[in-house]
Chain A
Amino acid sequence: MTTTIEPPELIEPEQPGGPAGHGPDSHGHESEHAEHGPSGLLKWLTSTDHKVIGKSYMITSLVTFFISGAMALVIRAQLSNPTSSLVNFQTYNELFTMHGSLMLYLFAGPFAFGGLANYIVPLQVGAPDMAYPRLNALSYWLYLGGTSMMTLGFVVAGGAASFGWVAYAPLSNSINSPGAGTDMWLMSLGLTGFSAIFTGVNLVATIFYLRAPGMTMFRVPIFSWNMLVTGLLILIAFPVLFGAVVMLFCDRHFGTHIYSVQGGGVPVLWQHLFWFFGHPEVYILALPYFGIVTDIIPVFSRKPLFGYRGMVFATLSIAALSTGVWAHHMFTTGVVLLPFFSLLSYLIAVPTGIKFFNWIGTMWGGQLSFQTPMLFSIGFLFAFLMGGVTGVLLASPPVDFMTHDTYFVVAHFHQVLIGTTVFAGFAGFYFWYPKMFGRMLSERLGKIHFWLLFIGFWVTFLPQYVVGLKGMPRRVADYLTSNGWTGLNQLSTVGAMIIGFSFLFFLVNLVTSWRKPVPAGDNPWDGGALEWFTSSPPPHHNFTHLPPIRSERPVWDYNHPEHRKDEGHGEKRHREHEEKVGANS
């Protein structure tokens, strides 16, 4: 069935009575009636609606997150005592490999660009759907297939992949890592890689071509801007990964010698290819979450974003620089140009710093309200700052030579990635959940979730920095009492358990909101972007009408005509405008 879409009609804010059904508490769930097509399981299998696909992505990636988080708890339990025998060494290798792989490839990225972005970007730019709805559905099915395949590696003979999430050659060749689990891991990356590429294409095309009238590029909300840049980074990075994986598969099964010295190949080529994907991947994981926080902070500060254009250019420069820093993961191989990669890595701190100051500038002097999404966003600021600063340390080759492959690095990237994907990711989830499901989550449970997570986070990872500096290498399944690492490891394990415990409150929160729904209304947070103009959840093609789009906060302009700026945006023009108003009065 194919539907032809015409753009929604214009509603002027001055119109008496306003649009039917618009307002903070009107029409909760009636939009469900507008949906057509099959229902139930068949609806899930056949839907090309970006909202259904986005929700499927989110549920799948959250399930992956919980499976992978449970593996992390087993890993921490194993490390809580020296010479522990909770799991054997092979199982331990499989656990940390699958923990990293599931989290990085199959939770962090897909949750953002498959789940939240899929749902929110068309709404934010005023589009009826993604540009290629059927391609979007294909992305999800490839992702689901890939995720199932990687996870099912545990049940085949020989077990799951066990060479770390980076699969360095020659450890990943057919002699050192035989068995179907490794092949399933590789093929899973192939499938999910294509899934990501298709989503990237979709995001770029949607934001380029399906913006509503008046939604110029510099009025697109920062979350969608970041998703555009993420889409471009995906198009740069994932094809390289796919190529690398195919070559590794050929090495394993078809007798080529691309990564093996015996046949004239170069093992370190894998590292070059992998990290040329891998470092942009870090920003593919981080940029969407920066975008989430950038959308949340102005709403809960009740101010426009400070430095809109600065944010856009910072995002673009982070993306551009991130592609030139891959070999800072390879400093200790001795075959890379240290000054080049060190300098470019340091440079990334500049646009990231601009973002930080803009976030603080947005909060500065605002009417802050610390609801759950805002708490998580502020948690992100602290967590990411610590992770980012230790990242600047690691960009220095002398420091990296000392700390490479120790727990210092483990603590660094966990602080970066939990800061972004968990703190900012759940900030976005709490922020947009009312829009997606038309019901609120409990503030009390959300805040308990935040504080337990925040405390557990620091208790887990601060000791890991210290134990890393004391020399504990990563990926070891046991250590000696005489190493003196026991106390710090136990502290870290306690922290991990607190993190695990905090998610119980999240699950209880979800269950409560389903059993005793509290209607959310269209715009529970008084947000300013277009997604808050339509009903919660939105009707089949998102909008029945749209406000005039004259700034990056069209819904704020519509709901607060007293603050409306008729043209332009950004603090400079706003100031000029106010000066003019002041001079006239």
Chain B
Amino acid sequence: MRINGLILSVIGIFFGIIAIFYWFTAYEEAGFLMLLGSAVLGLLPGGYYLWWSSRMRPLEGDLPEATMAEGAGVIDAFPGSSIWPFLLGMAALFAALTFIFGLWLAPIAAALGLSAVVGGVMESRRGGTV
């Protein structure tokens, strides 16, 4: 995980330097803010990974000599199939159409979205370990 943290942090630092350089040469706000945002986007997770990497139990994927046996145990719970992403996607589609063609589409979007959120949460509960 350390290497991941380093990569993100270095990218963040690079954007930070570019942002400062850009501000003092171009004096243009939009680009400066976007570069600054990108710097933060790299430094936030990067800093977290760097801080956490020395404290966490190393991932088997990070150990050069790890065997499959060392990775034994539950990786995670993966849903086999689920209808809720489809309904949520359609809810988003109808919500977008609402903005274009009028509020009469909003109830469809809301109904789809609500059922998808409830269904998805319930599915996670039933699955147990998610």
Contact = CB atoms under 8 A, between A and B. Distances in A.
Contacts of B31: 272, 276, 326-327
Interface in B115-130: 120, 123, 126-130
A288 interface: no
Contact of B82 (A134, A218, A550): A134
Contacts of B35: 323-324
B38 A236 contact: yes
A388 B28 CA distance: 29
B85 interface: yes
Given A5-B76, A183-B99, A212 B61 contact: yes
A500 interface: no
A135 interface: yes
A2 interface: yes
Contacts of B18: 323-324, 344
B96 A191 contact: yes
Nearest to B94: A145
Contact of A145 (B73, B92, B126): B92
Interface string A134-158: 1111101110111001000000000
Given A10-B68, A183-B100, A320-B11, A141 B120 contact: no
Contacts of A184: 100
Nearest to A138: B85
A438 interface: no
Contact of B7 (A46, A146, A316, A550): A316
A323 B93 CA distance: 30
B34 A276 contact: yes
The main secondary structure of chain A at its interface with chain B is: helix
Interface stretch (A203-211, A358-366, A373-381): A203-211
B61 A337 contact: no
Contacts of B4: 208, 217
B63 A149 contact: no
- Which of B77, B80, B128 has most A Cβ within 10 Å? B80
A10 B69 contact: yes
Contacts of A45: 83, 86
A46 B74 contact: no
Interface stretch (A36-44, A471-479, A484-492): A36-44
Interface in B22-73: 22, 25-26, 28, 30-31, 34-35, 38, 41, 59-73
A4 B11 CA distance: 35
Contacts of B28: 272, 335-337
B104 to A, nearest CB: 15
A190 B30 contact: no
Nearest to A5: B75
A133 B78 contact: yes
B89 A138 contact: yes
B77 A2 contact: yes
Contacts of B73: 6-7
A46 B99 contact: no
Contacts of A5: 74-78
Interface string A490-529: 0000000000000000000000000000000000000000
Contact of B62 (A36, A37, A216): A216
B89 A214 contact: no
A282 interface: no
Interface in A310-367: 316, 319-320, 323-324, 326-327, 335-337, 340, 344
Interface string B84-122: 111011101100110111000000000000000000100
Contact of A548 (B60, B67, B90): B67
B79 A48 contact: yes
Contacts of B120: 134
A541 interface: yes
Given A134-B84, A149-B97, A340-B25, A214 B72 contact: no
Interface in A544-565: 545-546, 548, 550
A136 B4 CA distance: 22
A144 B80 contact: no
A46 B61 contact: no
Contacts of A2: 77-80, 123, 126-130
A190 B97 CA distance: 11
Given A183-B100, A191-B93, A340 B38 contact: no
A215 B63 CA distance: 8
Contact of B68 (A142, A145, A213): A213
14 contacts: A2-B130, A138-B88, A141-B86, A180-B100, A187-B96, A187-B100, A208-B4, A210-B61, A214-B65, A216-B3, A216-B61, A253-B99, A316-B11, A326-B31
Given A4-B77, A546-B68, 20 more contacts: A3-B77, A48-B78, A128-B75, A134-B120, A141-B85, A141-B86, A144-B89, A145-B93, A213-B63, A214-B67, A214-B68, A218-B3, A236-B41, A272-B31, A316-B11, A340-B21, A344-B18, A548-B67, A548-B68, A550-B64
